[in-house]
């Protein structure tokens, strides 16, 4: 695998300060865990993304796309190949009437604040979700009764051949923590969100209430990747884990949060190996005790 040649070709189109060699992934995930990526690309234009795909395919180098890294566990030896991080270098936002159009690297927190400023309601649920618009669409992120499928009108995507096309809400096949984008491995470039007129104070009050609930229930002071497991039908993962006696249980510096058992937190120097061992133990214990299979919601990538 010739990363040197890939770097050389990429740098003919992409500024060198947007190409990071041997980049520690712990600096790019909310878990603060992960070994180095051979090469990270920080695109600021659609053409940067297309060029990266073309070069990776030419040299047969693997690539992966990420957003803000809020739902990601990178293994300890890192990632071979190229990581395309679509985040704060690709995050423009436009508001037109009740319509917000944004590039996929825009943070949900920024979008919900923009909606508040322009007195548009419907995005309050997303104000505390730490990810990007693109990442949220991929997994149909949601909280407190709202989901991305409720506000997305259309999404512009790119396939691995560099073709761009738009998908409507119906075509996106949104489901619980899934979408057509996820199933097909498409890359989100931009999206249009449809909101409705609201009152500034009322919207702000809803957002403040959701923030208070998050602060009360979630371990926001420690690095984590949010909810570790999908909600099993008829149950709550956090309650099952707590009832299995695992609240506060730790392996190395990876701990089942003492505040909310649905979260695993990094107490300081947790490794991916610690987290994965803890996930496996939780799954075994809950299966033994309740016969319920817990499926991870976080995405695990890289080499052990």
Class of domain 219-301: alpha beta
> Does the global pTM surpass 0.75?
yes
pLDDT band at 304 (very low <50, low <70, confident <90, very high): confident
Tell me what the mean pLDDT of segment 21-35 comes to. Answer: 98
Residues of the chain with CATH 3.30.43.10: 3-85
Please list the active-site residues. 177, 227, 297
Alpha-carbon distance of 148 to 90, in angstroms, equals 20
**Domain topology for 3-85:** 3.30.43
The two tokens of residue 95 are 């508001």
Residues of the chain with CATH 3.90.78.10: 219-301
Backbone angles phi and psi of 121, in degrees to 5: -105, 155
Tell me what the mean pLDDT of segment 220-241 comes to. Answer: 95
How many other β-carbons are positioned within 10 Å of the β-carbon of residue 197? 11
Residues of the chain with CATH 3.30.465.10: 93-202
List, for residues 242-282, the tens digit of each pLDDT value. 999 999 999 999 999 999 999 999 999 999 999 999 999 99
The two tokens of residue 131 are 């990810």
Q: Does residue 1 register a pLDDT over 90?
A: no
* Cβ(234)–Cβ(242) below 8 Å: no
CATH of 93-202, one of 3.30.465.10, 3.40.50.880, 3.40.50.970, 3.30.70.330: 3.30.465.10
Dihedral sign, CA of 199, 202, 204, 207?
negative
By CB atoms closer than 10 A (0-12, 13-18, 19+), residue 183 is exposed
Helix (H, G, I), strand (E, B) or coil at 156: strand
Alpha-carbon distance of 25 to 19, in angstroms, equals 14
The one-character DSSP state at 248 is T
């Amino acid at each position: 695998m010739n990363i040197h040649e890939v770097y050389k070709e990429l740098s003919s189109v992409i500024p060198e300060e947007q190409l990071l060699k041997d980049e520690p992934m712990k600096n790019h995930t909310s878990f603060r865990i992960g070994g180095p990526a051979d090469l990270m690309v920080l695109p600021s234009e659609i053409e940067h993304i297309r060029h990266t795909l073309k070069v990776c395919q030419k040299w047969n180098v693997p690539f992966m796309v990420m957003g803000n890294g809020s739902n990601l566990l990178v293994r300890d030896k890192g990632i071979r190949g190229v990581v395309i991080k679509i985040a704060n270098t690709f995050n423009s936002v436009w508001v037109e009437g009740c319509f917000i159009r944004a590039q996929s690297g825009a943070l949900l927190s920024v979008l919900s604040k923009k909606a508040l400023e322009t007195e548009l309601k419907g995005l309050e649920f997303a104000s505390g979700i730490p990810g990007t618009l693109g990442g949220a669409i991929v997994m149909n992120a949601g909280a407190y009764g709202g989901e991305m499928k409720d506000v997305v009108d259309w999404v512009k995507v790119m396939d691995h051949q560099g073709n761009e096309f738009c998908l409507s809400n119906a075509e996106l096949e949104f489901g619980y923590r899934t979408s057509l984008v996820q199933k097909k491995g498409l890359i989100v470039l931009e999206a249009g969100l449809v909101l409705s007129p609201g009152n500034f104070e009322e919207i702000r009050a809803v957002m403040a209430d959701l923030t208070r609930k998050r602060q009360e229930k979630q371990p926001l002071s420690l690095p984590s990747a949010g909810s570790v497991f999908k909600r099993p039908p008829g149950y709550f993962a956090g309650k099952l884990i707590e009832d299995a006696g695992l609240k506060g249980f730790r392996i190395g510096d990876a701990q089942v949060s003492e505040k909310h058992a649905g979260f695993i937190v990094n107490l300081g120097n947790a490794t991916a190996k610690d987290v994965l061992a803890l996930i496996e133990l939780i799954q075994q214990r809950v299966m033994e005790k309740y016969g319920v299979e817990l499926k991870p919601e976080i995405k695990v990538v890289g080499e052990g």
